[in-house]
Amino acid sequence: MESIPKKGTKEREDMIREHKECTESMKGVAGFSILKCETPGDTTVVTGGVHEHPHLKRVLQRMRGESVAGKYIIICTKVEEEWRIAKLSGIRGVPPEIVSDKVYTNEQDAQHDIFLLRLEELPETAGFPEHYTEGWKRRDDNWPVT
């Protein structure tokens, strides 16, 4: 299994550049995908991103497979005007915590910053099979005991 690219490597820089190019091309598109629009904001013809960069696809899958606790999310603070990054507690009923004072004017810039934050936090071996535990709603997942 491939590891997460190390800091300062060309592979990591290429992956970050590809992610940024994809998020820039998706500005004005509802939702969020790591794909490049042939014409920015128009998803009629999409290329690049996870289709042409398999290592980026694998890293994103590993990021999405991590525990909910501590995951970054985007909160829209003013409808279609302002977004902020927050972190989930992983405990039902406990609201997310805003992580910085930075306010974004579009969701895509916030998505790219979350990618960078998660990439910094992930160890090289994140997502390896030995890190997963079996089961769903285990007792240690903060679900109420009934």
- pLDDT tens for 73-125 read 999 999 989 999 999 988 889 999 999 999 999 999 999 999 999 998 887 77
In angstroms, rounded to a whole number, what is the distance separating the alpha carbons of residues 30 and 99? 24
pLDDT average, residue stretch 57-68: 78
Domain layout of the chain by residue ranges: 10-125
Six token digits for residue 72 = 């970054």
State yes or no: pLDDT of 144 exceeds 60.
no
Question: Which pLDDT does position 134 carry in this prediction?
Answer: 61
Asked whether the whole model's pTM tops 0.85, one would answer no
Q: Which helix (H) or strand (E) holds 46?
A: strand 42-47
State yes or no: pLDDT of 131 exceeds 70.
no
State yes or no: pLDDT of 146 exceeds 60.
no
Burial of 33 (0-12, 13-18, 19+ CB in 10 A): middle
